[in-house]
Amino acid sequence: MGEIVRLQKYIAMCGVASRRGAEEIIAEGRVTVNGEKVTEMGVKIEIGADNVSVDGKPIKAKNKKYYIMLNKPVGYVSTAKDQFDRPTVTDLVKKDLADVRIFPVGRLDYDTEGLLLLTNDGDFTYKVTHPKFHVEKTYIATVKGGMTIHGMNKLRGGVRIDDGFKTSPAKAEILDAADGYTTVKITIHEGKNRQVRKMFEAVGAPVAHLKRISIGTVELGHLPLGRWRHLTSHEVNYLMNL
């Protein structure tokens, strides 16, 4: 008898999508188990015994896991496929990993650059992105105008964005100020859509440029823009055990 797992976990094990992405795929009616369409969560399958297909194509669990760090440029969307045919982050790695189905771990905005992780391991994605693990993400933001002490203290204490949602306290420090712009290093552990930009807008300092430089202690370093590398085993183990 094979291992019994939830359908969304199996889809993630096959490298099709993260667990959350798999739930969306199931809800959209794109998954069949033994020829029967499944749209509800909680269905379990037996690995090796049940036949699972996504968009009519059979999928199978893969043994080899990939963990990749990409220095994402502006102008790429953080998805494996885009409905508007915009360049995706997977376009930057697939010429070297043509036969590997990987997906982004979380997202970076279209107009944000910097550290983005990609993988075919759904459990890894869950550990890095789920809010309950409080994984810190650090950014360098260049904002228009100056930053007041009051504004910095608001960032450090939490600000209200998106219909009253109050962000958790952030770590923030001013790195530089010149020519009408201020450079701020900010660390958060949440991942709301465009959260860092909205936080600065809430204190009257719109973002002109944003770059993520680290996730936990895993740093972008000197990786060139648009290039990628495999994570070290130490980095993978660190992120899996946060």
Q: Which residues are catalytic?
A: 109
- For residue 227 the two structure tokens come to 């290039």
Provide the greatest CA pair distance for the chain.
Answer: 67
CA of 128: how far to CAs of 122, 159, 240, in Å? Answer: 10, 24, 7
Contact between 161 and 167 under an 8 Å Cβ cutoff? The reply is: yes
CA end-to-end distance (rounded Å), the chain: 33
Strand partners, 233: none
Question: Which of left, alpha, beta for 224 (phi over 0: left; psi -120 to 50: alpha)?
Answer: beta
For residue 146 the two structure tokens come to 């100056």
Quote the Cα angle for 35-40-42, to 5°: 100
At 13 the three-state DSSP class reads: helix
User: Where does residue 233 rank: exposed (0-12), middle (13-18), buried (19+ CB within 10 A)?
Assistant: exposed
